């Protein structure tokens, strides 16, 4: 079942704010929260993530009916990519490798910002590329 395309973009906007706070304050707790949010979005799909729930309960009822839908698999894959980067950032900060924490968190922030501001989902594009390569290999 396809999902409202505005939901993942809303989640990307919230993610952008959370990751920016983590980088600006150098506080690992917002990054830990975002890592958990990515994990929930990866396991349950974007609709089961905290931001998907917030969109469904608080935002979508105030908007008009959706005009664009998308398959849930690319955004779910994007959540997994975000999880990898946020997890690497969290691990970097925990081990004292601040360069890794900053680089991985910054990369996740850049990807979230691209989706939130321009509707360009890097993780979704990666998913489509992997699918194309897989089909050609078969």
pLDDT per residue over 32-70, tens digit each?
999 999 999 999 999 999 999 999 999 999 999 999 999
Q: What is the pLDDT confidence band of residue 134, given thresholds at 50, 70 and 90? A: confident
Residue in this structure with the two tokens 């997994």, named with its chain if needed: 80
pLDDT of residue 30: 98
pTM, whole model, 2 decimals? 0.94
pLDDT of 137 strictly over 90: no
DSSP string, 66-116: -S-EE-SHHHHHHHHHHHHHHHHHHHHHHTT-HHHHHHHHHHHHHHHHHHH
3-class DSSP string for 24-36: HHCCHHHHHHHHH
Distance, CA of 114 to chain centre: 11
Q: What's the rounded Cα separation, in Å, for the pair 99 and 77? A: 26
pLDDT of residue 138: 80
Pair 109, 64: CB distance under 8 Å: no
pLDDT per residue over 78-120, tens digit each?
999 999 999 999 999 999 999 999 999 999 999 999 999 999 9
What residues contact 129, with CB distance under 8 A and at least 6 apart?
Answer: none
């Amino acid at each position: 079942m396809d999902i409202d395309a505005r939901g993942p973009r809303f989640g990307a906007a919230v993610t952008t704010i959370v990751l920016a706070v983590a980088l600006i304050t150098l506080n690992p707790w917002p990054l830990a929260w975002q890592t958990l949010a990515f994990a929930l979005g990866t396991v349950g799909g974007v609709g089961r993530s905290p931001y998907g729930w917030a969109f469904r309960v608080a935002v979508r009822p105030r908007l008009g009916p959706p005009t664009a839908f998308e398959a849930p698999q690319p955004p779910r894959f994007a959540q997994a990519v975000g999880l990898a980067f946020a997890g690497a950032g969290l691990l970097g900060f925990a081990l004292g490798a601040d360069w890794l924490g900053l680089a991985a968190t910054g990369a996740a922030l850049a990807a979230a910002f691209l989706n939130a501001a321009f509707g360009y989902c890097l993780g979704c594009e990666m998913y489509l590329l992997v699918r194309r390569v897989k089909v050609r290999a078969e």
